[in-house]
């Protein structure tokens, strides 16, 4: 495996060297930078429960920092032709314990009115410091080829093949080598008012050489519609799928359906209303103690204003989950309601930012001494900023706080992923 990583690293260097004198019309993007990643969880354990009534301590906070890494990174992208139909790339990243190298290749030729789109990726990670544990070193590869053929002025057909694999240096029950093969076929239609409809059928199969229990076949259909009307637009996405693990008693099998909808109505003076709906139904084939059929329905309604690339929306966010036939009695049924605020700012090729906050309350139908209803605050920030045309700063941040009726269950989670790079 380490040889694979070395191979990728050498390819990286070779790629960089080969394009040293780039041909006319070619394009080279090279960036160097640093990044920081932080993931931490804090939760509270009631020591009266843990240690008995005689314990003097009341509540103990347990903090786990899963990731606190500073990394150096080098990215390279090379397009040999002006039309960018071929794109080669490589990424190198190093933290205090790990090295990661990635090779990317995209090929997008046209044959008359037909388009072929091939993307491939080879990713290697290895530990160079500390003791190596299962799952630390691996090689991952994936490739996807999609052919789109116009059938008429507005209708096109497409076929897609996809393959991926993971190869670990040492495997365990959670680090298992596997490969997946998938195919997709569908049609797309453009309407005169720019509305568009996509319908696809798909089939994916996973094989795990060391465990037949983890093999599965997944198949289904999905459809998307993007529509326009006089004062607004709407999106609809629907998907239905079956997953079959081919085990006795249909263990792990499920049928799932989901529907996502979004409707935006433009009112006068830059004001708008936005409604979002998210529905999910899962029915499990086998019977075990934790997989129960459920439905989940989410709804968001916002009133907002957008001007000069800035969008602000404020409204309500609701979600209800209902489980069916729970053998253990205490189903995960809940209803939550919250106040949602969204702030987006897009400045063409300079800044993209999105800040979302939901502050609300989740009422559990079945409370116990281990789980009680709670108030929460969820915060998400996505931002990418290009400074002076050569410096790029991006950040993904998520934070979540839960304040339970039973204070011993309070918890908080922080995730930060950021990068600062300089384009040479």
Partner 1 sequence: MNMKNQIIRSVVIWLILALVAAPVFSQSETDNGAINNLRHQLGQVRDLLDRAKDIVRSSNNPIAERALIEAMKLWENARDNFDRGRYRIAAFLCRQAGEKAKAALSAARMAEQYEGAVVRRLERAGELLDRAKEAIASDDRQNLHAIYESARHNLDRAWEFYRSRIYKPALKLANQVEKTAEKIISASRDRIRIEEKFQRQLEKVNQLVEQARMTVADCDREAARHLLQQAEKSFGIAQEMEREHKPKAALQALKRARQMAIEAIRECQGMEQMLRRHERLRTQADRLSDMISPGSGASGDAARKLIRQAYEQLDLAREHIDKNQVEQAAASLKAAQLALSRAERHISNHQ
Contact residues for partner 1 (CB under 8 A)? 37, 39, 41, 43, 45, 49-50, 62, 66-67, 108, 117, 119, 123, 125, 133, 135, 140, 144, 174-175, 193-194, 196, 226, 228, 233, 235, 252, 262, 288-291, 328-330, 332, 346, 348-352, 354, 356, 366, 368-371, 380, 382, 384, 386, 392, 394, 396, 398, 400, 409, 413, 415, 417, 419
Question: Is 207 exposed, middle or buried (CB count within 10 Å of its CB: 0-12, 13-18, 19+)?
Answer: middle
Distance CA 333, CA 339 (A): 21
Taking the least distance from each CB to partner 1, the nearer of 19 and 125 is: 125
We find the least distance from the C-beta atom of residue 175 to partner 1, in angstroms, to be: 5
Q: How far is the CB of 244 from partner 1 (least distance, A)?
A: 14
| φ/ψ (deg, to 5) at 286 | -90, 175
Beta bridge partners of 148: 115, 158
In the complex with partner 1, the residue whose CB is nearer, 19 or 378, is: 378
Q: How far is the CB of 3 from partner 1 (least distance, A)?
A: 21
To the nearest whole angstrom, how small is the minimum distance from the Cβ of residue 326 to partner 1?
9
| Rounded alpha-carbon distances, angstroms, from residue 254 to 292, 294, 298, 322 | 10, 11, 21, 17
In whole angstroms, how close is the CB of 417 to partner 1 at the nearest point?
6
Q: Please give the full DSSP string across 125-184, using - where no structure is assigned.
A: EEE-SS---TTSSEEEEEEEEEEEEESSSSEEEEEEEEEEEEEESS--SSS--EEEEEEE
Q: Which CB, 16 or 278, lies closer to partner 1?
A: 278
Nearer to partner 1, 205 or 354 (CB): 354
Helix, coil or strand: residue 237: strand
Burial 123-154 (b: 16+ CB within 10 A, else e): bbbbbeeeeeeebbbbbebbebebebeeeeee
Measured from the CB of residue 405, what is the shortest distance to partner 1 in angstroms? 14
Nearest to 233 by CA among 189, 272, 260: 272
Residues paired with 340 in a beta bridge: 315, 358
**Closer CB to partner 1, residue 15 or residue 45?**
45
Of 119 and 240, the one with the shorter C-beta distance to partner 1 is: 119
Please, what is the minimum distance in Å from the beta carbon of residue 384 to partner 1?
4
Of the pair 45, 283, the CB lying nearest partner 1 is at 45
Whole-number Å distance between alpha carbons of 108 and 113 = 13
- DSSP-derived secondary structure letter, 56: -
Pairing of strands 334-347, 310-323: antiparallel
Of residues 7 and 344, the one with the C-beta less far from partner 1: 344
Q: Which of 415, 416, 373, 403 is nearest to 41 (CA)?
A: 415
**Closer of 37 and 318 to partner 1 (Cβ):** 37
Structure tokens given for 13: 């260097």
Task: Give least dist CB 118 to partner 1, A.
Answer: 12
| Smallest distance, partner 1 to C-beta of residue 348, A | 6
């Amino acid at each position: 495996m380490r040889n694979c990583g070395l191979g990728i690293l050498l390819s990286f260097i070779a790629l960089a060297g080969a394009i040293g004198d780039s041909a006319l019309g070619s394009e080279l993007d090279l960036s160097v930078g640093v990044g920081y990643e932080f993931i931490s969880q804090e939760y509270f354990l009631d020591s009266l429960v843990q240690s008995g009534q005689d314990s003097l301590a009341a509540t103990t906070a347990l903090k786990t920092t899963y990731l606190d890494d500073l990394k150096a990174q080098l990215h390279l992208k090379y397009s040999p032709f002006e039309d960018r139909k071929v794109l080669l790339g490589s990424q190198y990243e190093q933290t205090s314990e790990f090295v990661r190298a990635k090779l990317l290749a995209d090929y997008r030729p046209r044959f008359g009115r037909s388009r072929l789109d091939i993307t491939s990726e080879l990713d290697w990670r290895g530990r160079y410091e500390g003791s190596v544990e299962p799952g630390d070193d691996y090689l991952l590869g994936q490739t996807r080829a999609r052919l789109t053929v116009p059938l008429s002025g507005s209708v096109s057909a497409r076929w897609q093949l996809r393959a991926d694999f993971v190869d670990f240096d040492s495997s365990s029950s959670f680090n298992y080598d596997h490969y997946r093969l998938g195919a997709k076929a569908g049609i797309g239609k453009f309407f005169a008012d720019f509305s568009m409809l996509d319908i696809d059928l798909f089939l994916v199969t996973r094989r795990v050489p060391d465990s037949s229990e983890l093999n599965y076949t997944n198949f289904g259909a999905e459809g998307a519609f993007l529509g326009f009307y006089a004062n607004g637009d709407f999106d609809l996405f629907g998907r239905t799928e079956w997953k079959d693990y081919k085990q006795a008693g249909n263990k792990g099998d499920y049928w799932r359906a989901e529907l996502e909808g979004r409707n935006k109505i433009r009112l006068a003076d830059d004001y708008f209303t936005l409604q979002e709906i998210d529905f999910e139904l899962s029915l499990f084939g086998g019977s075990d103690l934790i997989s129960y059929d459920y439905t989940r329905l989410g709804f968001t309604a916002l009133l907002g204003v957008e001007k000069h690339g800035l969008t602000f929306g404020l409204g309500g966010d609701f979600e209800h989950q209902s489980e069916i036939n729970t053998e253990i009695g205490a189903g995960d049924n809940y209803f939550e309601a919250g106040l949602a605020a969204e702030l987006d700012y897009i400045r063409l090729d300079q800044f993209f930012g999105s800040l979302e906050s939901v502050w609300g309350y989740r009422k559990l139908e079945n409370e116990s001494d281990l789980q009680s209803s709670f108030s929460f605050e969820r915060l998400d920030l996505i931002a990418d900023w290009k400074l002076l045309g050569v410096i790029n700063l991006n950040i993904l941040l998520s934070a979540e706080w839960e304040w339970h009726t039973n204070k011993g269950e309070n918890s908080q989670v922080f995730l930060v992923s950021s990068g600062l790079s300089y384009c040479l």
